[in-house]
Chains A and B, each alone.
Chain A
């Protein structure tokens, strides 16, 4: 597509429920990144993919968080047993390759609210 698409744009969930966030990157972009942004905070790196593999999962806050990417395209970020501190905007970005010198293209994010 023309840009990075994320869905849903907003998600309200009850504490303890599982959620899935979806990211559809720009066609041909091999690198895909997940960040989250809390109010007044900077972008916190979560995980990146080069193709279908995730060389760096060090940013995932806990084992409740997982992500996968299939077919070198769409990625899903799953949060199990959501907690209130998981509330944030989850941003996905893609680039031609990891370490690209041409910047990232971000989606508009999924605003997750855990009540």
Chain B
């Protein structure tokens, strides 16, 4: 079965720095992967999707990379702000399934 690994330790960074979160997967080659943001007491909010044939995707201060050789995706937030503090989830969907598998998420804390 598919395993999704995200760093369980919180990432603490200083405002203005670039935050980089990691998502590793095993087994099947994903058709795409998604990144979500989740705030306490709220449902996840979709941020970005990247397909298996794409190496990079950007949206404003967000950038996602996808390395199918390393079986890894990196999620970057540039010029981070305290408002970016949240838990970030990645989710993979393989070509043989309609349902993405979610990681447990990594908590990001941006200090002013």
Would you call the interface of chain A mostly helix, strand, loop, or mixed? loop
Are A104 and B46 also in contact (CB < 8 A) when A41-B104, A42-B105, A48-B99 are? yes
Q: How far is the CA of A59 from the CA of B99 in the complex (A)?
A: 11
**Chain B residue contacts of A48, Cβ below 8 A:** 98-99
Contact in complex: B104, A40 (CB < 8 Å): yes
A109 within 8 A of B: yes
Contact in complex: B102, A43 (CB < 8 Å): yes
A78 within 8 A of B: no
**Chain B residue contacts of A93, Cβ below 8 A:** 43
Q: Identify the closest chain B residue to A47 (Cβ).
A: B99
Which of A13-21, A65-73, A94-102 lies at the interface with chain B?
A94-102
Q: How far is the CA of A4 from the CA of B44 in the complex (A)?
A: 12
Q: How many B residues have CB within 8 A of the partner chain?
A: 23
Would you call the interface of chain B mostly helix, strand, loop, or mixed? strand
Are A101 and B104 also in contact (CB < 8 A) when A42-B89, A91-B43 are? no
Question: Which of B43, B49, B99 is the one whose CB lies under 8 Å from A56?
Answer: B99
Are A106 and B102 also in contact (CB < 8 A) when A42-B4, A99-B93, A101-B32 are? no
**Chain A residue contacts of B102, Cβ below 8 A:** 35, 42-43
> Taking the nearest CB of chain B, how far is it from the CB of A50, in angstroms?
8
Q: Which residue numbers of B lie inside 8 Å of A, CB to CB?
A: 4, 32, 34, 36, 41-47, 49, 51, 89, 91, 93, 98-99, 101-105
Given contacts A42-B102, A103-B36, 10 further A-B contacts (CB under 8 A): A4-B43, A42-B103, A45-B101, A48-B99, A56-B99, A91-B43, A91-B44, A103-B47, A108-B43, A109-B42
